[in-house]
Structure 1
Amino acid sequence: MLRLLASCALISLLTGCATGLIDPHGYDETGGASYYGSQHHGNRTASGERFDQNSLTAAHRRLPFGTRVKVTNLDNDKSVVVRINDRGPHTRGRLIDLSRAAAAQLGMLRSGTAQVRVQALE
């Protein structure tokens, strides 16, 4: 009985975590972006892979891992395509955390943040 109860609790927990994800189809949001770099380089991401500041990846709170999104800097109209492989950002008011390489392509290394548009790709 205890084993059954523990199994049900585990399933409930895992199901609860998965329900926070959103369908990327048609996803199109604007908001704040920041980037994370050298201090996190080599650490494991939430998806289990190692963070590489030189790859085109990003962290998003609710998009599924592997989702490819186009991120456009609204100040200069530069854009980059990144793959979601981590959870975040952990700062209130931010929509996405980008790798250093992605931030460089968007021209936001100096400021560290930018207002962006994030669009899921099919």
Structure 2
Amino acid sequence: MNYRRTGRMAALAVAMTFTLAGPVQADSGLLAINAAVAPEVPVSMLPAPSVDTPAAAPSMELNVEPIAGGMASYYGRHLAGARTASGQRFDPDALTCAHRTLPFGTQLQVTNPANGESVVVTVNDRGPFHGNRVIDLSDAAAEEIGILGKGSGKVQLAVLSD
């Protein structure tokens, strides 16, 4: 039997049973815990769960910062598997895009004002480098907002961040 592992599991069980009253310290691979017994609350004193009040969802607020929009186009499927500027392989079915200046990994909300459809894409390439276009979308992203059949379309852009 591995006593080191047993010691850690026992410490974990103690930590789960007691409220920590002091710091948890690592000591020779074993945990030393200063703990005090948590006060017990009688069940009769706990509030009854409400059936008609839904549980509050965790807050998932994102900052949405509009940036300059314009014309969007999309990559053709013939580029599938080609390396993007970030080093990733282009996947026409992924929700990705090319932008001239935004950092790789930036999440963008792309909205087609003609139909109100939006999609969130990740910048993983540079471009477009021709015409008056501001963004190149993957095929999947272009389809989501309804510009796949036209080849290009006007879009509004917003950067999403935590």
TM value normalised by structure 1? 0.77
Q: Which amino acid aligns with 2:152?
A: T
User: Residue 36 of structure 2 aligns with which residue?
Assistant: none
Residue from 147, 150, 153 that aligns with 1:114: 153
User: Residue 65 of structure 1 aligns with which residue?
Assistant: 104
Alignment of structure 1 residues 79-90 onto 2, 5 Å: 79-90=118-129
Q: CA RMSD in A?
A: 1.2
The SS at the match of 2:141 is helix
Q: Which has the larger radius of gyration?
A: 2
TM value normalised by structure 2? 0.59
Q: Please report how far the alpha carbon of residue 39 of structure 1 lies from its aligned counterpart in structure 2 after TM superposition.
A: 1.2
Q: Which runs of 5+ in 1 are unaligned?
A: 1-24
Q: Which runs of 5+ in 2 are unaligned?
A: 1-63
Alignment of structure 1 residues 24-43 onto 2, 5 Å: 26-43=65-82
Q: In 1, Cα distance between the equivalents of 2:97 and 2:144? A: 13
Q: Which amino acid aligns with 1:28?
A: I
User: Residue 18 of structure 1 aligns with which residue?
Assistant: none
1 or 2 for the larger relative contact order (CA 8 Å, sep ≥6)?
Answer: 1
Q: In 2, Cα distance between the equivalents of 1:33 and 1:78? A: 14
Q: Provide Cα deviations, 1:18-70, integer angstroms capped at 9, x if missing partner.
A: xxxxxxx8351120000012111000000000000000000000000000000
> After the TM superposition, which parts of structure 1 deviate over 3 Å for at least 4 consecutive aligned residues?
none
Give the number of aligned pairs.
98
Q: Please report how far the alpha carbon of residue 118 of structure 1 lies from its aligned counterpart in structure 2 after TM superposition.
A: 0.7
Q: Please report how far the alpha carbon of residue 95 of structure 1 lies from its aligned counterpart in structure 2 after TM superposition.
A: 0.5
